[in-house]
Amino acid sequence: MPHDHHGHAHGHQHETSKVTTVPVAPPLVPGKLALIVSERAAKEIKTVMAAEGQAQAGLRLNVEPGGCAGFQYAMSFAEKTEGDEIMAESNGVKVFVSRANIPVLNGLTIDYIETPMGAGFNIKNPNAKSTCGCGNTFDA
C-alpha cells in the first residue's frame, strides 16, 4: 500500500500557537466599587442615622460566608473608612466596604422593602449563587 503524504499537517502546526492568550475580564478599577442604594433604602438609612445621632455617618457593609444565598451581610454605621476599606456613595449614602469584599459586593443593590412579614433591607447581589426573599432558610 503506497504511503499517503497528504494526511500529514506539515507546516500547519504553528498556526494554532497564536491562540494562547485567554481573554481575561477587565480588572476592577482599584478603589472603585459599583453599588446602588435605592431611594427608599437611602431615606430609611438617613432616618435611622439621624435618630441615632449619626447623621454624618455612612454604612459599613461586611460580608460573611453563609446564609441561604451563600452570603450573610452585616451592616453597621461608620464615620470613616478603616483598614483597607474604600467608600462608595449612592443616593447620598456613603457605604464602606473592605477591598477584600469588592469582588463579592460589586454590582450590589441595597433596597428597603415593607411586607406583611415586616420591613427591612433587602440586598440583591448579582454575585450570589441564589437569592431568597427573606432572612430564613427553608428546607422542604
Domain coordinates in residue numbering, the chain: 35-124
Average pLDDT over residues 103-132: 84
The number of residues making up the chain comes to: 140
Look at residue 89 in the predicted model and tell me its pLDDT: 93
Percent of the chain whose predicted confidence (pLDDT) is above 90: 41
Look at residue 87 in the predicted model and tell me its pLDDT: 92
Average pLDDT over residues 32-37: 88
Most confidently modeled range among 34-38, 114-118, 135-139: 34-38
Question: Sheet harboring 118-124: ordered strands across?
Answer: 35-37, 108-115, 118-124
The predicted-structure confidence for 55-72, as pLDDT tens digits, reads as follows 889 999 998 877 666 678
According to the CATH classification, is domain 35-124 in 3.10.20.30? no
